[in-house]
Amino acid sequence: MRKTVLMPVEKVLCDAHIARDGSEVEATDTLTLGRHAWDLCLEHNVTFGRYLCDALGAPSEGVATEPEPVSVPVAEPVPAPVAECDEPDVSEEASEPEPVRSVMIAGEVPGYDWDTARDAVRNAGYEVVGRADDSTVLLILGEGGERNGHKLRDASERGIPCMDVRTPGRFKSAVLSGEFVGGDPLPEPVTVDRSGMSDRERNRVIRAWARENGWPALPVQGRVPMQVRHAYELAHQDAPEGKAVAA
C-alpha cells in the first residue's frame, strides 16, 4: 500500500522581482556585499553582475584587492553674511525733518488785518514768532514796524534780512508766489513818537483812553491791539485831518 506524505518545502524567491512588481520567481544565487545579501534569480544575477563589472571592472582571479580610497571634495568655507544690523543705519538721520523756518512780522501789513497776515505766512510754510531764534529767516516790516524795537534789534544782531511790505501790493505778491524774500534796508528803531512820548508811555495813555471809550476789559499788560491804536489815533487827530481821513 502506497502512502502519500506532504512535506513542507522552503522556496527562496528573487528579491529583485519582489521589489519590482511583487512577482514570485525562484532565486538561484545570492549576492553578498558586506553585511547585506540579496537572493536573485538567474536573470537578475546576470544583470547585476554585468552592472558591477562595468562599474568596478572584472576582479583578478586569486588576488585580493583592496578598494582604492575615493577622494571626496571638501567644500571651501563660505564667509558668514554680515548682518544688516551691523551696518550703520542712516535712515533715521535721513528721515529727520528739517526745522520749520520762522518769520517775524513788525507792524501792520497794508490790506491785511493782524490774523490774516499771519495766516498767509503760515500757509506759505513758515512759523510766525515774536522773537527771533535760530530758525528765523526773515523780518517782514509793515506800517509802524519801526516802533517794534526788539524785533529790529533781533534782526540786526542776527543778520536776519528784512522785507519791507509798506508798499501796497508787495505782501500780496509774496503770498501769491509762496515765497518771502528779504533784501530791503532795516530801519532804526523809533522809541519816541511825534508827541515826545516813549512807546511805554504812549501805551499807558492808550490803555487809559481805551478803558473809558469802549474797551473796559483791555488787559493791563501785553500788546495793545492794533484796532485800539487806530481808534486812539483817529480820536486825537485834528478836525481837518480827521475829515481828510474819513474822505
The domain boundary residue, chosen from 41, 56, 71: 56
Determine, yes or no, domain membership for 66. Answer: no
Contacts for 104 with CB less than 8 Å, ≥ 6 apart: 128, 129, 130, 131, 132, 136, 138, 139, 140, 151, 154, 155, 160
Could you tell me whether strands 102-106 and 36-40 are parallel, antiparallel, or unpaired per DSSP bridges? unpaired
The verdict on 109 and 173 lying in the same domain is yes
Distances (CA, A) of 97 to 1, 88, 172: 118, 20, 29
Q: Given this model, what pLDDT does residue 128 score?
A: 92
Determine, yes or no, domain membership for 189. Answer: no
The verdict on 115 and 173 lying in the same domain is yes
Across residues 83-101, what is the average pLDDT? Answer: 62
The domain boundary residue, chosen from 177, 208, 224: 177
Residues in the chain: 247
Kindly provide the residue ranges of all beta strands, DSSP E only, lying in 34-120, ordered along the sequence.
36-40, 102-106
Grid coordinates representing 22? Answer: 511583487
7-36 pLDDT tens trace: 666 778 888 778 877 787 887 888 887 788
> Does residue 102 carry a pLDDT above 90?
yes
> Does residue 247 carry a pLDDT above 50?
no
The domain boundary residue, chosen from 177, 212, 227: 177
Count of the separate structural domains present in the chain: 3
Q: Given this model, what pLDDT does residue 127 score?
A: 92
The verdict on 212 and 167 lying in the same domain is no
The verdict on 167 and 210 lying in the same domain is no
* Mean pLDDT of the chain, nearest integer: 77
The verdict on 209 and 150 lying in the same domain is no
Parent domain of 110: 102-177
Contacts for 66 with CB less than 8 Å, ≥ 6 apart: none
175/51: higher pLDDT: 175
DSSP-derived secondary structure letter, 80: P
Which of 132, 55, 56 has its CA nearest to residue 101?
Answer: 132
Determine, yes or no, domain membership for 89. Answer: no
Q: How confident is the model at residue 240 (pLDDT cuts 50, 70, 90)?
A: very low
Grid coordinates representing 234? Answer: 483817529
The verdict on 168 and 229 lying in the same domain is no
The verdict on 169 and 132 lying in the same domain is yes
Determine, yes or no, domain membership for 4. Answer: no
- The backbone torsions φ and ψ at residue 240, rounded to the nearest 5 degrees and listed phi first, read -60, -40
Kindly provide the residue ranges of all beta strands, DSSP E only, lying in the chain, ordered along the sequence.
29-33, 36-40, 102-106, 127-128, 136-141, 162-164
What does the CA dihedral 164, 165, 170, 171 come to, rounded to 10 degrees? Answer: 120
Determine, yes or no, domain membership for 214. Answer: yes
206/4: higher pLDDT: 206
Determine, yes or no, domain membership for 28. Answer: yes
Amino acid at 205: V
Check which CATH number belongs to the domain holding 160 and give it.
3.40.50.10190
Grid coordinates representing 52? Answer: 558591477
139-188 pLDDT tens trace: 999 988 888 888 999 999 999 999 999 988 999 999 998 889 989 999 88
